[in-house]
């Protein structure tokens, strides 16, 4: 079976959407909404806000898709819209946020990082998972929007530096420096948790 290039598949769906076929855009939503959800949710820490923002992001993308010329991939383009809209939303919302500890997926129990982390002989092993996540979310929310964005994209979503720099429109060096600074901040925030 021939391998389908995801880029060309996206281009075909975009062309069909531009030609007035809304079902093609539905396929793009199905393909990208889980990843975009992760990005937005880890920046807002609130499911309702994330849901509203996702609707707005895809609505804006649908309205603007006639102007999409393929200079970047759809993935980069939709994530740029998502990041910009989420940062604007966060600036308006202020520092109000809600914890996400109730929404931890049960799959986490099978993740090798989780097993390794909880098996090591350090205070984390004895910590309750919910408490761990709560602390982490608190620490994340103490970061600035820009630092939280790069941490979400790199550490949570696993995007490469080059992709992050394209989406945010900044240099790779800036991405790396923001990451370094953000990690240092998170380390200091979580230090107290490790001591306990």
Partner 1 sequence: MPDETDIQNLLRLKRYEQPPQEYFDQFLRDFQHRQRAEMIRQPVWKIALHRLQAFFSEPVISQFAYAGATAAVLLVAGVASVKIINGGNGDAILPASLASVNTPVTQSIVPHPKSMGLVEPRIRLADWSTIPSQPASSGAQSATTNPHYVIDARPVSYEPPSSF
Cβ atoms of residues 60 and 85 within 8 Å: yes
Considering beta carbons, is residue 87 or 190 the nearer one to partner 1? 190
Cβ atoms of residues 81 and 195 within 8 Å: no
Query: If DSSP states are collapsed to H, E and C, what string results for 178-196?
Result: HHHHHHHHHHHHHHHHHHC
Q: Smallest distance, Å, CB 113 to partner 1?
A: 5
Considering beta carbons, is residue 9 or 56 the nearer one to partner 1? 56
Considering beta carbons, is residue 3 or 126 the nearer one to partner 1? 126
Task: Give the range of 68-76, 78-86, 150-158, 166-174 binding partner 1 by CB under 8 A.
Answer: 150-158
Supply angle C-alpha 86, 71, 73, rounded to 5. Answer: 55
Residues in contact with partner 1, shown as a per-residue x/- string from 83 to 122 under the rule CB under 8 A? -----------------x--xxx-xx--x-xx-xx-----
**Half-sphere CA count of 38, side-chain side, radius 13 A:** 14
Helix axes 161-168, 172-195, angle to 10 degrees: 110
* Total residues found in the chain within this entry: 196
Kindly tell me the burial class for residue 102, based on how many C-beta atoms sit within 10 Å of its own C-beta (0-12, 13-18, 19 or more): exposed
Q: Does 141 bind partner 1 (CB under 8 A)?
A: no
Q: Smallest distance, Å, CB 163 to partner 1?
A: 16
Q: Does 188 bind partner 1 (CB under 8 A)?
A: yes
Q: Smallest distance, Å, CB 2 to partner 1?
A: 27
Residues in contact with partner 1, shown as a per-residue x/- string from 7 to 26 under the rule CB under 8 A? ---------------x---x
Q: Does 130 bind partner 1 (CB under 8 A)?
A: no
């Amino acid at each position: 079976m021939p391998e389908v290039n995801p880029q060309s598949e996206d281009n075909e769906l975009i062309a069909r959407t531009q030609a007035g076929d809304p079902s093609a855009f539905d396929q793009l939503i199905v393909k990208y909404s889980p990843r975009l959800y992760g990005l937005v949710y880890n920046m807002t820490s609130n499911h309702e806000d994330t849901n509203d923002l996702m609707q707005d992001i895809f609505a804006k993308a649908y309205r603007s898709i006639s102007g999409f010329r393929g200079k970047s991939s759809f993935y980069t383009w939709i994530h740029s819209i998502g990041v910009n809209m989420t940062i604007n939303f966060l600036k308006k919302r202020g520092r109000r946020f809600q914890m996400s500890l109730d929404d931890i997926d049960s799959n986490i129990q099978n993740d090798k990082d989780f097993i390794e982390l909880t098996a090591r002989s350090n205070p984390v092993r004895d910590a309750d998972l919910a408490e761990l996540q709560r602390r982490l979310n608190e620490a994340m929310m103490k970061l600035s929007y820009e630092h939280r964005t790069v941490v979400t994209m790199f550490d949570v979503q696993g995007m490469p530096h080059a992709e992050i720099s394209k989406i945010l429109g900044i240099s790779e060096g800036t991405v790396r420096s923001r990451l370094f600074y953000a990690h240092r901040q998170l380390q200091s925030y979580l230090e107290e948790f490790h001591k306990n």
